[in-house]
Amino acid sequence: MALATAAVSLHPFLSRSTCILRFGRRLPPLLLRATSSASSSQHFNISFAEPTPSEKTPSAQPRVPWIVRGEDGKPRLSTSPPQDVLEAIALAEAEAKKAAKREAALKGQKNAVAAAAAASSASVKARERKAAPTAPPKFSKAARRFYNENIKDREPQRLAKVLAAAGVASRRNSEELIFQGKVTVNGSICTSPQTKVDITKDSIYVNGNRISKKLPPKLYFAVNKPKGYICSCGEESKSVVSLFNDYLKGWNKIQPGLPKPRLFTVGRLDVATTGLIIVTNDGEFAQKLAHPSSNVTKEYVVTIDGDVHKKHLIAISEGTKIDGVMCVPDLVEPLAAQSDTRKTRLRIVVHEGRNHEVRELVQNAGLKVYALKRVRVGRFRLPADLGIGKFVELKQADIKALEGNS
């Protein structure tokens, strides 16, 4: 047999040792060079010819061997793949492109969802920051006090509270003035005490007199109340507030440009009781300190007219009902007798703050009160050097001590 030499180049799709025909039969690989032999089996050697110079150029089209069945039914060598192979390759390439597009679309959707979630989270956080109430600055005590007196009080507040803070009248009397139509806000009569106003922006008149746009500072005093003085905010000559007449007369020199404060007592001591009482113009502070729910302890020294026995102490310790409420003292103990008198003194500590509570406890035990003096409120004790009828302005540490218990 003559030797036939063909120059071929392998196609990427021809990676197997055999090729599959259109009709499903397997044929051996292309036999390009055959050698004759005497044996029954023939052996073929395959060799590749050197490419021509024209084939070495990059533009030259490589020749690919394909074994196809011709019209006569015999296999033959072809340089182009069959039509069904071309269709399969085109279909595979189209499916790969579709898969790439689907993956890109899915990735884009995930990115869009992630971006939308991030934007929604940022929007929610922004709304929360906007809706969160503004907290007072957490700085030093002096900074917090400046904030409370100069910034916090400038926020819109109820009309009755503003009038009371401005020194017009007590909050209850301010409400009466509003109900009577004697208060105007920005030129209109206001009959609702709950109306929110800003004293620095709104024009407020009471009985034709304009309220100052500045509020007096918060003041706190400890007074050594004399016997015979009442705890009233009226014009009585022997009221605890009247002890501040000289102080208020010189107010314009002390605080020029600020309205005079309206002072009042925190709680009450009856006319015959002496000792420590607090005077302020801070209504919220007074309400908190005087209300029984605050449980602020108050210490009294009671001078008894007569002898005191153990049964009396037991009776006082067991308590008594006042206005339908059972009041039990926190402490009852005798004190050492003073050198200038032989009368027995008792120390009694209570926290209820009921009207005439200590007198009721003593009288219910069968004893007679000769003198009653309050010496402590909370942890603040009446200064020993504070004379009767005198007062002293409290510092922040003293105000804090009033709200605590020893």
Q: Please give the positions annotated as active site.
A: 270
* 400, amino acid identity: K
Tokens of residue 351, six digits: 């926290």
Q: Are 148 and 215 in contact (CB under 8 A)?
A: no
Q: Alpha helices of 231-388 — where are they, by DSSP H?
A: 245-249, 251-254, 283-290, 310-318, 357-364
Any residues with CB less than 8 A from the CB of 368 and at least 6 apart, and which? 304, 305, 306, 362
Q: In whole angstroms, what is the distance from residue 285 CA to residue 164 CA?
A: 13
Residue with tokens 């406890």: 361
Distance from the first to the final alpha carbon of the chain: 126
Q: In whole angstroms, what is the distance from residue 402 CA to residue 221 CA?
A: 11
Q: Are 194 and 159 in contact (CB under 8 A)?
A: yes
Q: In whole angstroms, what is the distance from residue 9 CA to residue 2 CA?
A: 22
Residue with tokens 């070495």: 56
> What are the strands, taking DSSP E only, across 36-109?
43-44, 66-69, 75-78
* 249, amino acid identity: K
Any residues with CB less than 8 A from the CB of 374 and at least 6 apart, and which? 269, 273, 274, 275, 276, 277, 298, 299, 300, 382
> Which residue, 275, 232, 227, 244, is CA-closest to 384?
275
What are residue 332's DSSP bridge partners?
Answer: 348
Q: In whole angstroms, what is the distance from residue 249 CA to residue 256 CA?
A: 12
Tokens of residue 180, six digits: 């009577």
* 406, amino acid identity: S
Q: In whole angstroms, what is the distance from residue 318 CA to residue 315 CA?
A: 5
